[in-house]
């Protein structure tokens, strides 16, 4: 039997990148998947098809705007209307870099809304039903920037630090829900370092150009500044960590923040 047979997972920001990698792993293990994100009809259809081909029993797609608290609540409610949500992955996030003195105030509001507040609203709506059933998994995709800071990323770092703190609070509130036999309700954060997604491709290419187009050397040069392993994680690597957190054996792993950063935060 596949590990997530009979489970249903809602993953925000999952049409690409880390969220999509998590969806691929969960689909391989037999889960029903609720994809979420913004995209044109063609990209949405392609993502749905690929997740079905990965093994998902069913795939739904929602496009709610996470900047709007009412839309976030509606997203969870619509997901619940068609079945239980056993696993919630808060992955959606955006970034904008600028010195604090030059950061547009609207970017602060937007990043906090999507990267932090939306996770509060999804958990607030989904967790009571998980507690009733005695099983639930919430996995918040934070970042190494939920543990350490970098310049020119004030709203992103603030949001990710906030997400780590929020994870701890909600984990405590639901720690005694369910049992070892039912699996319990856990709330954890994963804190990735550099992950190979389209988001960083331009940075990789710029570094590769320094080495005559050698992409591997470009990646090593980029990562050498902060990630000692000098290796990128794949989105599915993050998915495998998330999969383990969904297991019943992880019933007592809650309130944690797990770095997947090649040693970045060990320095």
Q: Using alpha carbons, list the distances in angstroms from residue 143 to 68, 127, 149, 249, 261.
A: 23, 22, 10, 24, 9
Asked whether the beta carbons of 192 and 89 are under 8 A apart, the reply is no
Are residues 92 and 82 part of one domain?
yes
Whole-angstrom distance, CA of residue 114 vs CA of residue 94: 7
Are residues 157 and 60 part of one domain?
yes
Measured between its terminal Cα atoms, the distance across the chain in Å is 41
Q: Quick one: which H or E segment has residue 222?
A: helix 215-223
Query: Is residue 160 a part of any domain in this protein?
Result: yes
Dihedral sign, Cα of residue 53, residue 43, residue 143, residue 175: negative
Whole-angstrom distance, CA of residue 81 vs CA of residue 91: 22
Render each residue's pLDDT in the chain as its tens digit; 267 residues.
899 999 999 999 999 999 999 999 999 999 999 999 999 999 999 999 999 999 999 999 999 999 999 999 999 999 999 999 999 999 999 999 999 999 999 999 999 999 999 999 999 999 999 999 999 999 999 999 999 999 999 999 999 999 999 999 999 999 999 999 999 999 999 999 999 998 788 889 999 999 999 999 999 999 998 999 999 999 999 999 999 999 999 999 999 999 999 999 999
- What's the token pair of residue 76? 């969870």
Are residues 163 and 121 part of one domain?
yes
Asked whether the beta carbons of 146 and 191 are under 8 A apart, the reply is yes
Query: Is residue 1 a part of any domain in this protein?
Result: no
Query: Is residue 262 a part of any domain in this protein?
Result: no
Helix (H, G, I), strand (E, B) or coil at 35: strand
Q: What residues act catalytically?
A: 156
Query: Is residue 265 a part of any domain in this protein?
Result: no
Are residues 210 and 88 part of one domain?
no
Are residues 151 and 63 part of one domain?
yes
Asked whether the beta carbons of 91 and 22 are under 8 A apart, the reply is yes
What is the domain range of residue 57? 8-193+234-257
Are residues 80 and 99 part of one domain?
yes
Are residues 154 and 87 part of one domain?
yes
Query: Is residue 220 a part of any domain in this protein?
Result: yes
Task: Sort strands 87-90 and 135-141 into parallel, antiparallel or unpaired.
Answer: parallel
Are residues 79 and 18 part of one domain?
yes
Domain count for the chain: 2
Across-strand partners of 138?
88, 187
Give the pTM: 0.96
Are residues 154 and 49 part of one domain?
yes
Query: Is residue 3 a part of any domain in this protein?
Result: no
Describe the crossing of helices 215-223 and 201-209 by its angle, rounded to 10 degrees. Answer: 110
Give the domain CATH number at 118.
3.40.50.720
Are residues 207 and 157 part of one domain?
no
Are residues 70 and 34 part of one domain?
yes
């Amino acid at each position: 039997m596949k590990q997530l047979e009979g489970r249903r997972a809602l993953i925000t920001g999952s049409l690409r990148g880390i969220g999509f990698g998590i969806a691929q792993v969960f689909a391989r293990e037999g889960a029903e998947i609720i994809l979420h994100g913004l995209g044109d009809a063609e990209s949405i259809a392609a993502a749905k098809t690929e997740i079905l081909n990965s093994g998902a029993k069913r795939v739904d797609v929602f496009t709610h705007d996470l900047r709007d608290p009412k839309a976030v609540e509606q997203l969870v409610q619509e997901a619940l209307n068609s079945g239980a949500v056993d696993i919630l992955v808060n992955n959606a996030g955006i970034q904008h870099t600028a010195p604090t003195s030059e950061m547009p105030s609207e970017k602060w509001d937007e990043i906090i809304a999507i990267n932090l507040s939306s996770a509060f609203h999804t958990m607030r709506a989904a967790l009571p039903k998980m507690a009733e059933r005695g099983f639930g998994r919430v996995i918040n995709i934070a970042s190494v920037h939920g543990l350490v800071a970098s310049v020119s990323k004030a709203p992103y770092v603030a949001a990710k630090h906030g997400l780590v703190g929020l994870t701890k609070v909600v984990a405590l509130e639901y720690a005694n829900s369910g049992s070892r036999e039912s699996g319990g309700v856990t709330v954890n954060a994963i804190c990735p370092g550099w992950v190979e997604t389209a988001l960083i491709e331009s940075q990789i290419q710029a570094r590769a150009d320094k080495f005559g187009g050698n992409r591997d050397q470009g990646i090593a040069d980029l990562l050498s500044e902060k990630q000692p392993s000098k290796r990128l994680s794949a989105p599915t690597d993050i998915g495998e960590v998330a999969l383990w957190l969904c297991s019943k054996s992880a019933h007592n792993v809650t309130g944690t923040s797990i770095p997947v950063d090649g040693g970045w935060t060990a320095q």
